[in-house]
Structure 1
């Protein structure tokens, strides 16, 4: 890991994600579905710290979150891939700063994460009667994607600003 991991409190913020998943604050839900908290944390981390750190942070966060539930479905591959992709975007070209860009990246990331989870469920051969009913899965996927895309401009902008100050030697 690069620059952000040197600041222990930045790395410790990853522990807030499982807490938010478990706490699931009611006012931040859409139709009973919470946003994709790992996406909202990983996006600014990867943009600031690069592809290797983003992939490792995504894999670590996936391990933490997979420990919260039983079953063979995992978030690790999707989060590691997203961390790597967003890290590459952060290293190439001008820095991503606009709220619209952050919202769009979070929306795409959440859609990919949800699609990964649904695809794993289908590949494992679970029938619709067991766990993956098409209507609830689609409802959860769409609501989580929309809500994460709407929250990302505010939450990710704040994290991006704070973490860029830390890595540039601002406060510290």
Structure 2
């Protein structure tokens, strides 16, 4: 069992992600686009708990979020890959603590997640590149990437501090 999963309230914070996706608080949007809430939750989790726990948390979060929407497009592969990658980064070298690093990792993660969704739309034929510019998809991708990167230093650093304390202290 992972260090963070021993604390029930840490796992329960994952339930905030679908709620925030559905609620889409207006003050936390950019041009009507919310941040990538799964990225903002998964990044500190994987950095603290490692690659296996990060990948499993990403897949689980992807399953829950895919259940909220209709259609064949899925977030599971991208979130699982991000959880594994960030978990490896958290295990190797010095701990990631700087706000700039968290913002950059969130920017890259959101770009990868949005890019995988756009690629799936292309492969499934629901959007054809020759039929005009994909401005709504690109607008959403760029706005979500920028907003997530701007929110990550604040939100992820708070979660990172709290979860590292919980993982090391063993208190519940």
Alignment TM class, shorter chain as reference: over 0.9
For residues 154 and 171 of structure 1, what CA distance do their matches in structure 2 show?
24
What is the CA-CA distance between 1:126 and the residue it aligns to?
Answer: 1.4
The TM-score with structure 1 as length reference comes to: 0.96
Q: Please tell me whether residue 162 in structure 1 is matched to residue 162 in structure 2.
A: yes
1:20-71, Cα deviation, whole Å (9 max, x unpaired): 0000000000000000000000000000000000000000000000000000
Q: Which residue pairs with 1:55 in the alignment?
A: 55
What aligned pairs does 1:104-115 form with structure 2 within 5 A after superposition?
104-115=104-115
What is the CA-CA distance between 1:170 and the residue it aligns to?
Answer: 6.4
The TM-score with structure 2 as length reference comes to: 0.96
For residues 108 and 68 of structure 1, what CA distance do their matches in structure 2 show?
24
Give the 4+ runs in structure 1 shifted more than 3 A.
none
What aligned pairs does 1:90-169 form with structure 2 within 5 A after superposition?
90-128=90-128, 134-169=134-169
1:93-145, Cα deviation, whole Å (9 max, x unpaired): 0000000000000000000000000000000011359xx96000000000000
Unaligned 5+ runs, structure 2: none
For residues 144 and 134 of structure 2, what CA distance do their matches in structure 1 show?
15
Q: Which residue pairs with 1:2 in the alignment?
A: 2
What aligned pairs does 1:67-106 form with structure 2 within 5 A after superposition?
67-106=67-106
Count of residue pairs the alignment pairs up: 170
- Alpha-carbon distance change, 114 to 156 in structure 1, aligned in 2, over 3 angstroms: same
For residues 107 and 156 of structure 1, what CA distance do their matches in structure 2 show?
12
For residues 128 and 21 of structure 1, what CA distance do their matches in structure 2 show?
27
